[in-house]
Amino acid sequence: MKDKINLVSTSNNQVVIQDFAYHIVVFRHFWNDKIADPYDHNSQIQALQEVTSSNIQAAMPIGVSPTALLVWYPFVRIANIDLMLAYSLWLGFSLTIFFTAFFNTVNGMSSVAQSSKKRILATILAITVLSDTFFSAVSLGQTSILACGCFLTILGALFVTDKENHSISTIISTVLLSLKPSYLAIALSCLILTRRWRTLFHVAIALSILIGGSFFLLPDGWATNYNENLSVYFSADPPSIYKNSIVRNLSNTLVGVFSLSNFSNVAMHVARVIYLTSIPLILIAHAKFKKNETNGAKKSGPLFSSIVLVFLCSLIFAPYLGQYEDLLLWPITTILICSRRINTKEAMII
């Protein structure tokens, strides 16, 4: 009953459950041997019916990867005691990584125009954490907050700090980003572009263990069901069982600018336009500081351009990334502002 009061509500004869709670409820039933496949639609409905005591007819597709079974295992066990406690700890964990990564990035900045950079970073942080997207992500327990912190950790280790021993934090962050295939693809692209072959090797070992373990736990046919779940996000004609269970127009800002007709709320549209335009304006202001830097800093230009291209193309063209991935604009901007000079030959041995 406590789970229901805190995280589940009813609106227009529909049961509304918080995103994180929904995933944990389904995974909890999996680990408690009540369902065999968390990606099976009937199993998802069964889990919802037991926790809500309602006649559920459709369930939201699960987009997290099988590694979430192990990454979220501690929270699943806590949810057996109290679902709200599991959500609170998950939120605390995500916010801790987010703000720790931010402050580590600031501390790793070069001394050139450091105070000016800090003011710019503080402005961007305020724009991010005061945005409707951030508050929505917090209230729903979205993975984008954790992803933002992990990307800051990875990119900070690659471009910002002067210390070389950051492989452990990079490996852990990359493993956490395996919660969603799209996150993992961006992280691996960053490591490949910067030639962190040793770190990539360690990441491959860690992911092999994690993925192998999750595959071992799942029954035959899970891959087909998982693909059916993912197809909801990019198919023009998704499976009928999922058609009424998601809101399909919640695109991120970069996607939204190409389809402004999707925005029915004028206030929300204005807020998103401000959010999108504020970051380029800040970068233009920051360009003045770059003029005072030595020509040696231009060595990393193509590398930075490649990293930014990976992020932006992912946000624009990956249908799996929705409005909550607007937060990923934050690590891109931060790294561009804080980055030190980097030599790709040096990167090969780190």
pLDDT digit string, tens, across residues 91-129: 999 999 999 988 887 776 654 456 666 777 777 777 778
Output the pLDDT for position 208: 93
* pTM as predicted: 0.78
Q: Is 248's pLDDT higher than 80?
A: no
State the residue for tokens 């549209």: 269
Which comes out higher in pLDDT, residue 58 or 195? 195
Output the pLDDT for position 1: 38
Q: Is 200's pLDDT higher than 60?
A: yes
Output the pLDDT for position 325: 74
Q: Is 262's pLDDT higher than 80?
A: no
Of 253, 302, 228, 309, the residue nearest 40 (C-alpha)? 228
Q: Mean pLDDT highest for which of 45-49, 80-84, 225-229, 306-310?
A: 80-84
Average pLDDT over residues 123-146: 83
Q: What does the alpha-carbon distance between residue 207 and residue 222 come to, in Å, rounded to a whole number? A: 19
- Contact between residue 75 and residue 258 where contact means Cβ atoms under 8 Å apart: no
Task: Tokens for 248, please give them.
Answer: 């399909």
Kindly write down the DSSP assignment for every residue of 186-243, as one continuous string. HHHHHHHHTT-HHHHHHHHHHHHHHHHHHHHHSPTTHHHHHHHHHHHHH-SS--GGGT
DSSP 3-state of 15: strand
Task: Tokens for 273, please give them.
Answer: 């336009």
The domain segmentation of the chain, as residue ranges, is 2-79, 87-349
Average pLDDT, rounded, for the chain = 74
